[in-house]
Chain A
Amino acid sequence: MSEELGGYDRSAIFLGAASLVSAIFAFGADAPTPIDFAHVGAGGAIVLAGFGVVGLLGGLLHRGILSVIAGAGLTIAAVVQLVTLAISPRPLGGDATAMALFGAFGIGLLLVGFARRQASTPAPTDDSAPTTTTPTDDRKA
């Protein structure tokens, strides 16, 4: 089981780092077309970097709840980007490519965070003595 928890943590680290690095696409509009993969506005770059750091810390500190928070923030950003695509200027800047990045890292961190928390919660062994989840369960490495 600890190997599985380690896998969730490594995924959170990777997704958080990838989100953080993706903030560089704030400069995408000035890049040559062959590497102009995504367009992220200033607000979007802050979202990607900020929640990326939270997701990264979730993996490093073995805290699934941080991955869930980062994932939820990025997923909400993806929805905001989607519903504001038809207006200009957009609160997060960028275009639909930013929505795809928010969604990718957001959904990924959400699933990894929830899976980690579920895996670190001990299964009840006796119906008469239900177990409870404590904050330390989430830190099992």
Chain B
Amino acid sequence: MTVATQAPPADPLASSLSRALMAIVRIGVALMWIQNVAWKRPPDFGRTNDDGLFFWASQAVEYPVFTPYSAFVESLFLPNIEFFGWIILLVEGGLGAFLLVGLATRFWAVVGLAQTLAIALSVLNAPHEWHWSYYLMFFAHLAIFATAAGRWFGLDGVLRPGWMRSSNPLAKAMVRLS
């Protein structure tokens, strides 16, 4: 009796080209967040002129996607946008910065998924919005998380060996977040 042997499937990410392509995806997504942090303008984040973050967040109330989220935006987010606006600014600035250099990439991919969900719940039903934009944003962050895209052409790949040798709790946390 003969047993057919088959080589295990090759790991696509073993290829330098594939790793470079995932780095391009990561950096492209980072540039998207960086470019879009520009219109989160303190201190009122658009409340006075009904534009910017205030306008786009208010779409969740005008064109609801998920009623509890719309209620949260109407009763808590919009009345306190001078506070929540800073959080959005820091989160999106952090997404751009950390994904750009590939640091704690898997953590920031999860943050990107959450932020994409929040944006989708705000504007998915707004006029002239292409819903696939938000689905694609979500899938891009899933791909970055699944491939741990900061380990190639990113700081995670350079710093991880040191983190893995270290007994420092912060270094151990970074191993998990990268």
Contacts and interface: CB of A to CB of B under 8 A. Distances in A.
A binds B: yes
Interface of A: 4, 7-8, 10-11, 15, 36-39, 82, 85-86, 95-97, 99-101, 103-105, 107-108, 111-112, 115, 118-119
A118 B96 contact: no
Interface of B: 30-31, 33-35, 37-38, 40-43, 89-90, 93-94, 96-98, 100-101, 103, 155, 158-159, 161-162
Given A37-B34, A96-B37, A101-B97, 12 more contacts: A7-B158, A86-B42, A95-B41, A96-B40, A97-B37, A97-B96, A99-B37, A100-B93, A104-B101, A107-B101, A108-B103, A112-B158
Contacts of B96: 97, 100, 104
Contacts of B93: 96, 99-100, 103
Nearest to A119: B162
Contacts, number: 76
A36 B36 CA distance: 10
Given A86-B42, A96-B93, A99-B93, A107 B34 contact: no
A109 B40 CA distance: 27
Contacts of A10: 158
A11 B155 CA distance: 7
Contacts of A119: 162
A107 B174 CA distance: 14
